[in-house]
C-alpha cells in the first residue's frame, strides 16, 4: 500500500509539470527561440534518464519525468 501511495504522489507531481511548463512558456517567450535546440537536448537527456530510472530508482525516474514534462510543454507552440 505504501509503494502505491508513493507512485501516486510521484505521478501527481509529474503531472504538475504540465501547468508549470505552460506558465514558463508564457513568461519566457523571447528565450524560447534562441534556446530551442537546448530544450530539445534537455528533453532527450531526460528521456534517457527516465529509462535509467526504471531500472535503478523510482525517484530518479520521477525527477527526469518532471523535467521532461516541463521542458516539453515549454517547447509546444
Per-residue pLDDT of the chain (77 residues; tens, 9 = 90+): 888 888 898 889 989 989 998 888 888 877 777 778 888 899 999 999 999 998 988 888 999 999 999 988 877 76
Mark 46-74 as b/e (b = at least 16 C-beta within 10 Å). Answer: beebbeebeeeeeeebbbbbbbbbbbbbb
pLDDT at 59: 85
Separation of alpha carbons 17 and 65, rounded Å: 9
pLDDT at 47: 93
Taking a C-beta distance cutoff of 8 angstroms, is the pair 58, 6 a contact? yes
CA angle 68, 73, 77 (to 5 degrees): 140
pLDDT at 51: 93
pLDDT at 67: 92
Amino acid at each position: 500500500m505504501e509503494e502505491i501511495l508513493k507512485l501516486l504522489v510521484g505521478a501527481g507531481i509529474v503531472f504538475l509539470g504540465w501547468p508549470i511548463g505552460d506558465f514558463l512558456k508564457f513568461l519566457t517567450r523571447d528565450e524560447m527561440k534562441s534556446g530551442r535546440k537546448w530544450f530539445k537536448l534537455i528533453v532527450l537527456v531526460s528521456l534517457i534518464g527516465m529509462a535509467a530510472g526504471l531500472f535503478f530508482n523510482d525517484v530518479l525516474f520521477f525527477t527526469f519525468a518532471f523535467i521532461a514534462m516541463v521542458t516539453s510543454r515549454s517547447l509546444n507552440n
